[in-house]
């Protein structure tokens, strides 16, 4: 009896080291469990050592370029990464071979590598994490970016989508963009959401010291970049403390990013330092779960813009998985994700955001019900095992084709 062919996958990452990026990790492990041989090209984590094989996955890691700052910085970062990854992909081709090239954006320059390998009969999967044109033009720069750069990023996205044999979209909004802007046929797009892994997001015991710092604990977990809206959250906290006279509150901010320093300065200017605790980057998932277990409310202050309106926020699903009620601005994909597990403020209205927090502070019964609703939605629809099925079905169809 003929032994079945074991399909080989090469994943490309540039934006984050594999160890820090949950979506590629879950996808790679799912593919290995399904019988695929997976290799990954990725930047090295800070202070990390080159790994060769972990969880059955073969690694080829490279030193990342310096952190980008401005257009020329990103241009150098993406040019460097595309060149290094191109060379390493040839090494993988010669050492192990691969049948499917699976690229995670950003950047949207991997189509240059994919075009070469498609000439050799390889299939190309484009994992569309970010809408790069909208992130650059509407989210990263408050006054708007350069229109020419926006158009170039849009062209790169279209080329990548059109050359792909399969596009993985993180939600229906991204799928609509891929079909309408890049003219990708619907049968070549599969929605695989960033579902949380319930095995790693199980309840934890509260942190007793944190619980004593205020009668109400708010929690923000995630990146701290201009598009994430921490400045909106700090202004909302100022309204909460000074306009609504709710001073017995502490907001725990867990995460790091290029807007962290600015956020600390803003908190000082607003005179709310005693109501905000900037924890910084936390590498221990158990500690994050403990802080979230202590929190009364999870917050997501991402403001409305053409980028955030289409994004599914991972932090919201993590709050839901740990049965935390949420306060967020009323964005389209927030509604799709959280439904009744969140209290929604008018888009970009910081005073209304503060009012929604105050309303939940006064209603512990509603908080419990919202938390239970969120957890149930994760378990029944959004958790990673539900998304893994979509991934494997798409890969099965791709391999058969």
pLDDT in tens, 93-123: 999 999 999 999 988 999 999 999 999 999 9
| Top-tier CATH class for 8-195+383-400 | alpha beta
DSSP state of 379: I
Nearest in space to 219 (alpha carbons), one of 331, 61, 326, 341: 326
Q: Can 8-195+383-400 and 208-381 be said to share one CATH topology?
A: yes
Q: pLDDT digits over 339-373, tens only?
A: 999 999 999 999 999 999 999 999 999 999 999 99
- Of all residues in the chain, what percent carry a pLDDT higher than 90? 75
Q: Per residue in 59-68, pLDDT tens?
A: 999 998 876 6
Mean pLDDT calculated for residue range 233-251: 97
Say what the pLDDT of residue 218 is.
98
Please choose, from the candidates 253, 266, 244, the residue with its C-alpha nearest in 3D space to the C-alpha of residue 362: 244
- Average pLDDT for residues 239-257, to the nearest whole number? 96
Q: How many CA atoms lie within 13 A of 213 on its CB side?
A: 19
What's the whole-number average pLDDT of the chain?
92
pLDDT score, position 399:
83
Of all helices (H) and strands (E), which one includes residue 88? Answer: helix 70-95
In the chain, what are the domain boundaries? 8-195+383-400, 208-381
Spatial separation of the C-alpha atoms in residues 132 and 150, rounded to whole Å: 8
What is the model's pTM?
Answer: 0.89
CATH architecture for the domain at 208-381: 3-Layer(aba) Sandwich (3.40)
166-208 residue pLDDT tens: 999 999 999 999 999 999 999 999 999 999 888 777 778 899 8
């Amino acid at each position: 009896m003929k032994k079945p062919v074991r399909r080989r996958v090469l994943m490309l990452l540039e934006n984050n080291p594999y160890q820090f990026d949950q979506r590629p990790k879950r996808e790679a492990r799912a593919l290995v469990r399904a019988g695929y041989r997976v290799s990954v090209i990725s930047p090295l984590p800070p202070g990390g050592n080159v790994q060769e094989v972990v969880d059955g996955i073969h690694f080829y890691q490279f030193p990342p370029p310096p952190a980008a700052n401005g257009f020329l910085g990103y241009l150098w970062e993406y040019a460097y990464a595309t060149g290094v990854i191109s060379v390493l992909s040839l090494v993988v081709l010669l050492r192990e071979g691969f049948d499917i090239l699976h690229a995670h954006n950003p950047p949207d320059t991997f189509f240059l590598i994919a075009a070469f390998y498609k000439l050799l009969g390889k299939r190309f999967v484009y994992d569309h994490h970010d809408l790069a044109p909208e992130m650059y033009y509407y989210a990263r720069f408050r006054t708007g970016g350069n229109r020419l750069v926006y158009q170039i990023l849009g062209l790169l996205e279209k080329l990548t989508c059109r050359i792909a044999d399969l596009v993985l979209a993180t939600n229906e909004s991204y799928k609509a963009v891929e079909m309408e802007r890049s003219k990708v046929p619907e049968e070549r797009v599969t929605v695989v959401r960033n579902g949380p892994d319930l095995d790693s997001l199980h309840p934890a015991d509260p942190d007793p010291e944190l619980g004593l710092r205020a009668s109400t604990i708010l929690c923000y977990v995630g990146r701290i970049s201009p598009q994430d809206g921490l400045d909106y959250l700090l202004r909302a906290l100022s309204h909460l403390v000074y306009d609504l006279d709710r001073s017995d509150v502490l907001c725990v901010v867990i995460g790091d990013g290029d807007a962290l320093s600015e956020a600390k300065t803003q908190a000082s200017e607003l005179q709310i330092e005693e109501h905000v605790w900037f924890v910084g980057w936390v590498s221990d998932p158990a500690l994050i779960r403990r802080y979230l277990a202590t929190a009364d409310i999870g917050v997501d202050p991402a403001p409305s813009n053409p980028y955030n309106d289409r994004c599914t926020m991972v932090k919201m699903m993590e709050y839901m998985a740990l049965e935390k009620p949420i306060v967020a601005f009323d964005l389209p994909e927030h509604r799709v994700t959280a439904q009744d597990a969140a209290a929604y403020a008018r888009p970009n209205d910081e005073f209304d955001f503060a009012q929604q927090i105050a309303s939940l502070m006064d209603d512990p019964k509603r908080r419990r019900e919202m938390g239970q609703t969120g957890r149930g939605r994760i378990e029944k629809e959004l958790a990673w095992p539900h998304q893994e099925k979509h991934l494997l079905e798409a890969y099965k169809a791709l391999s058969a084709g």
